[in-house]
Each structure stands twice: as structure tokens, then as C-alpha cells.
Amino acid sequence: MEMIRKAAGYLLSRFDEIPRTVVVLGSGLGGFADEAENKKVVGYSEIPGFLTSTAPGHAGKMICGEIEGKKVLLMSGRFHFYEGYSMQEIGFFVRVLKVAGIKNLIVTNAAGGINREFSQGALMMIRDHIKFFDDSPLRGQNYGELGVRFNDMSEAYTPELMEKARIAAKEENIDLKEGVYAFMPGPSYETPAEIKMLEILGADAVGMSTVPEVITAAHCGMKVLGISCITNMAAGISAEKLSHDDVKRTADQNADKIKRLIARTLSLI
């Protein structure tokens, strides 16, 4: 808690005002930060206790600015379990933002499509998730200042924010799918057999991020919205070989669509 408060205090000293909402920008979506006006930038390396973002395309910067006239905090780059960090380390930044005053967490990611009705480039609002991993960002000592020992996860993705995203998608004429996101630790892509298992269990998309952040945010009582860009069809759904270059390319090609959706949603919050 001492380190969490120290990091939160640093952010409060660098930014004149901490917005109510933070947007975590996934692979290929860092360009959204260019849309911000009147911005101030802080590198992750400057923030006490923060990790280094090593994934390709993740800049490792926090940007405070305005989108559609609304103050917002943008995280250009996130942290992944496959980078060698623990779940507890990954959840650290969410707790820092909670203590700093953030109320709403919008998470975006690049994901593999499992639902056969989806197409490459589709946007999916996360309705729920499946975590295939025995660790948790909440394992270990509980910090009662942040949340209860055994927290509820029945509405980890906030219905109020989901409805605003639906309205935003309609106003922007964007076909917004909805579905269940499955978390797998990576960094290897899943096997066709694993994807078949996830499909049977009801997953619509799969990825290597987001869920540790959402679990931590739910514990802290933050409101959460999750948006996935389906950058490829998962192994066995499509015969194509998977590569991160293709993931980034598809995310770049659909960046404008997700930018419009997030910007319009922010205007409604």
C-alpha cells in the first residue's frame, strides 16, 4: 500500500487533474493517444513501482488529455504475464489509478476470433470472461482499503458502461459484437485443440491480456468496459498461420473504427 500511495501521489503531482476514466490501449491501438488534446505525458519508467512495457507496439507512456472535450487518461502500452511479470505486478497499476481517483477503466485489446460468425477486423464488446489460469492478481495479502477478501465477479463488466458503448456504436454506425473473452497466458498462440475446447465452453474470442486488470478493477470497485479488436481468427478456425505482425497490421487497419467507438463512448460517460 505504501508503494501504491507513492505512485498515486506522483501522478497527482504531475497531472493538474486526474480524470474519472482511463483507457488502456492494446496492441496496434497506441495511435489513439495522438487524438488527445492539451496533453501531458509521463513515461512508465518515471512512476515509482511501475513496470516496463516490453511488448512490441506498446510505448510505455501515460497521457493525460482531452478526447471529445472530456478529460481522459490514456495508457499507451500494458503489461502481460508472458513478459515475466506476476499477476500481482500486473494488477499494481490498476490499484494505483484507483487510489489516484480513477472511477472507470476502459480496456482494449487485440484478440483471436473463436466465434465463427465474427470476421477479421470486427469489434467485440466483452460481456464476460473465462480465466484459464490458477493464479490471480488478488492472491496474497488482501488490502481492505481497496476491496474485500472475496469479491463478486458477476458484473465485472459494468452494464451501465456497456449500454453507453452500444449507444456509441449505433451513433457511429459501427457493428459492435458482444461476447465472452478467454484469457490464455501466452506467449505461444493457442493450439487448434485448445481453441476447440474454448469454443465448446462458450468463448467468442481469446487473448493474452485484460483479465488480470479487470479482476483487479472489480476488486477495487471500478466500473469496467472491455473492447476487443478481432485481429485474426484463432488456430483451427482459420487455416492461416498466426503472427504478431498480422495482428498489428489488422489492428492498424481498424484503428479508426475503434477510435471512433471509444471517443463517442467517452463523450457519453
Residue keyed to cell 473473452: 181
Please pick, among 178, 197, 238, 244, the residue that the annotation labels catalytic. 244
CA-based nearest residue to 177, from 166, 189, 163: 166
Please pick, among 7, 55, 58, 205, the residue that the annotation labels catalytic. 58
Please pick, among 8, 10, 80, 217, the residue that the annotation labels catalytic. 80
Please pick, among 53, 104, 109, 209, the residue that the annotation labels catalytic. 209
* Residue 58: active-site member: yes
* Residue 172: active-site member: no
Question: Rounded to 5 degrees, what are φ and ψ at 119?
Answer: -125, 160
* Residue 27: active-site member: yes
Secondary structure class of 202 (helix, strand, coil) = coil
* Residue 219: active-site member: no
Q: Which residues contact residue 243 at a Cβ distance below 8 angstroms, ignoring those fewer than 6 apart?
A: none
Please pick, among 53, 76, 109, 232, the residue that the annotation labels catalytic. 232
Q: Are strands 176-183 and 61-67 parallel, antiparallel or unpaired?
A: unpaired
Question: Rounded to 5 degrees, what are φ and ψ at 35?
Answer: -75, -15
* Residue 194: active-site member: no
* Residue 82: active-site member: yes
Please pick, among 8, 55, 75, 83, the residue that the annotation labels catalytic. 83
Please pick, among 8, 62, 100, 110, the residue that the annotation labels catalytic. 110
* Residue 188: active-site member: no
Name the E strands within 77-207: 104-113, 123-131, 176-183, 205-207
Please pick, among 7, 10, 27, 254, the residue that the annotation labels catalytic. 27
* Residue 244: active-site member: yes
* Residue 197: active-site member: no
Please pick, among 208, 217, 233, 234, the residue that the annotation labels catalytic. 208
* Residue 86: active-site member: no
Positions marked active-site: 27, 58, 80, 82-83, 110, 208-209, 232, 244
